[in-house]
Amino acid sequence: MVTELLQTDNEISARESINRAVATLQAGDVVALPTETVYGLGADALDPVAVEKIFAAKERPHFDPLIVHLPHKNAYLDIATVPDGVKHTIVQLVETFWPGPLTILLPKKGIVPDLVTAGLPTVAVRMSEHPVFKRIAKSFGNPIAAPSANRFGCLSPTSAEAVLDQLEGKIPLIINGGACSRGLESTIVRVSPPENGPKPVIEIIRPGPITEDDLKKFGKVVFAERNTAVEENSPEAPGQLQSHYAPRTMLRLLEKPEDFSPEPGKKYGLLSYRGQEKDGYIQLHEWDEIRVLSPGSGRVAEAGIRFFSTIREMDDLFLDEIIAEPMPDRGVGKAMLDKLRKASS
């Protein structure tokens, strides 16, 4: 199979590329699409034959559910039901964060193939804010199942070139919409009726760009308790598997500098949060390579945008091990720590 890479750098090329993408989806095939988070591998979410091509191209296990991207805000009502006790909160979240990097778990309707949800009773839905994806989704009309456009077990791609590197010859088409503006996968939440108070419970299943602080005005925010054994065999939402975030090179999150004992002859690289000596990592070792996510004072939002692309860069440096500094356990920092801990396991 020949994989085409189409550009969207001017209106003429964008229109032609969008038309090709829509035609590819209508033909029941897959296409890699830019979103604001990471590139997604899309297919018609209501066509199980097309969805199966996603799993085949990615070599993704069928027990791992997919996120469904919507053509407009209210399209979730076509494929999901909303329990009475949380309707108001769901509407608030949709109106506030869509289009954007928030995914909501809802009970699915029968129109959604079980293949999309890995047989689970819930479907993960969101609406992308990327201008190219929005135009494709609107023109196509049907919901689009689109997990990250990478081979299973590899890093999520934040550029069209990264998609091509992993899926060339496995998919027919990649739409180049530039580098992803967010750089981290969407936040996934589940909303439950109030327990012992007036507010509904917003459970963060996967942390991401929409943070606890963003969500707390709409309900009581809690973080899902991790059960690694369950996640690895029957995840309840997309993006819970540890292998989603692991580079080929061994990666270790070093919670404290004093825990580092280098082995003679090994090549080590440091993934530094802000590159400051006072954090205790820069001077810890004569690193073979150092990459900094947010040089200077350290800003978690900037670090999040650079996160996957920087780890991908380090993965190509022929290191024996990547040592990652911790970062603030707040905001987008929670999402990066979650991914680093999964990659370290």
d(CA 312, CA 300): 18
What 8-state DSSP symbol labels residue 290? E
Residue 49 token pair: 């034959």
Return the minimum-mean-pLDDT range out of 15-29, 152-166, 218-232.
218-232
Q: What is the pLDDT of residues 138-189, one digit of tens each?
A: 999 999 999 999 998 889 999 999 999 999 999 999 999 999 999 999 999 9
Task: Say how many CA atoms lie within 13 Å of 50 toward its Cβ.
Answer: 23
Instruction: Considering only residues 231 and 233, tell me which one the structure prediction assigns the higher pLDDT.
Output: 233
Question: Is the pLDDT score of 2 beyond 80?
Answer: yes
* Count, residues in the chain: 345
**Which CATH number is 4-176 given?**
3.90.870.10
Task: Point out which residues pair with 42 in neighbouring strands.
Answer: 31
Within its chain, how far is the Cα of 224 from the centroid?
A: 17
List helix spans (H) across the chain.
11-26, 48-58, 76-79, 87-97, 114-117, 131-140, 160-167, 212-215, 228-233, 300-315, 332-344
Q: Which helix (H) or strand (E) holds 16?
A: helix 11-26
Each residue's pLDDT tens digit, 182-212? 999 999 999 999 887 789 999 999 999 999 9
Does the pTM of the predicted model rise above 0.85?
A: yes
Residue whose C-alpha is closest to residue 55's, from 144, 125, 127, 149: 149
Domain boundaries 246-344, corresponding CATH code: 3.40.50.11030
* Residue ranges of domains in the chain: 4-176, 246-344
